[in-house]
Amino acid sequence: MLNEATLKDRLLRFFSTPSTIRTEEDAREQWTEAYHLYAQAAEDVSGDGVVVSSLGRDVFWDALDFQDNRTGAEAARMFDAAFVAFWQSVTFGTAVLLGVPPTECPNIGGSGVWTSETSSVVVEVREGVLASKLLPLFREPGWRSTAQGAAMAIARAFHEATTEAVFVRIDGLDNSLPVPQPIANVCTVR
């Protein structure tokens, strides 16, 4: 399950030791590694873990472009584009089955309980969600006044966006009925 503190701790390294960031490539690597490490703990609603190799680490890195003259709005959009690219077509395992229907995101078909899963994949990442959380932060004077405060605020924005904007579809069968029924579920990552 995603843990905001994991991301905050990694970002704290970035904000507390700026002298170690000598090049744009250094910055891209640290931001990418921080988010990638955080995202490795993602689960779908049935509790299946993310297939780490499907995470878009490289596209996240490619989307980052740290320019000195970038406005807060441009920076927020840059991070949003990296975030959306990161989650495109990410897959999850299909080993864990729920004993009861998930209440936070109702199933389509069947009785609401999978007896077998065939796939679990990210089907939608809403654009603009992360940007809308970062923009007010970037407009706040002194948001980086302390490394701890900056890391905490950025981690919170990324965590909230991840758990609100990344949607996973689980497909499978409900074999508990006389005739097995296809069953699907779309819910946010957790």
**Tens-digit pLDDT profile for residues 72-128:** 999 999 999 999 999 999 999 998 776 676 777 777 776 677 778 899 999 999 999
Residue whose tokens read 């078909």 = 109
107 or 143, greater pLDDT: 143
The two three-digit tokens of residue 62, written as one number: 């490619």
Average pLDDT, the chain: 91
Q: Could you report the per-residue pLDDT of 14-45, keeping only the tens digit for each?
A: 899 888 888 989 999 999 999 999 999 999 98
Average pLDDT in the 38-63 region? Answer: 96
What DSSP designation does 61 have? H
**Rounded distance between C-alpha atoms, residue 101 and residue 111, angstroms:** 8
Q: Say whether pLDDT at 67 is over 80.
A: no
Quick one: pLDDT at residue 180? 83
Quick one: pLDDT at residue 108? 75
DSSP characters over 115-178 = SEEEEEEEEEE-TTHHHHHHHHHHHSTTTTSSHHHHHHHHHHHHHHHHHHHEEEEEEEEETTSS
Q: What residues does each domain of the chain span? A: 4-188
**Rounded distance between C-alpha atoms, residue 144 and residue 77, angstroms:** 19
Quick one: pLDDT at residue 133? 98
pLDDT band at 143 (very low <50, low <70, confident <90, very high): confident
Residue whose tokens read 């991301």 = 7
Q: Say whether pLDDT at 142 is over 80.
A: yes
Average pLDDT in the 158-182 region? Answer: 90
**Rounded distance between C-alpha atoms, residue 60 and residue 48, angstroms:** 23
Among 38, 88, 56, 61, which Cα is nearest to 190's? 38
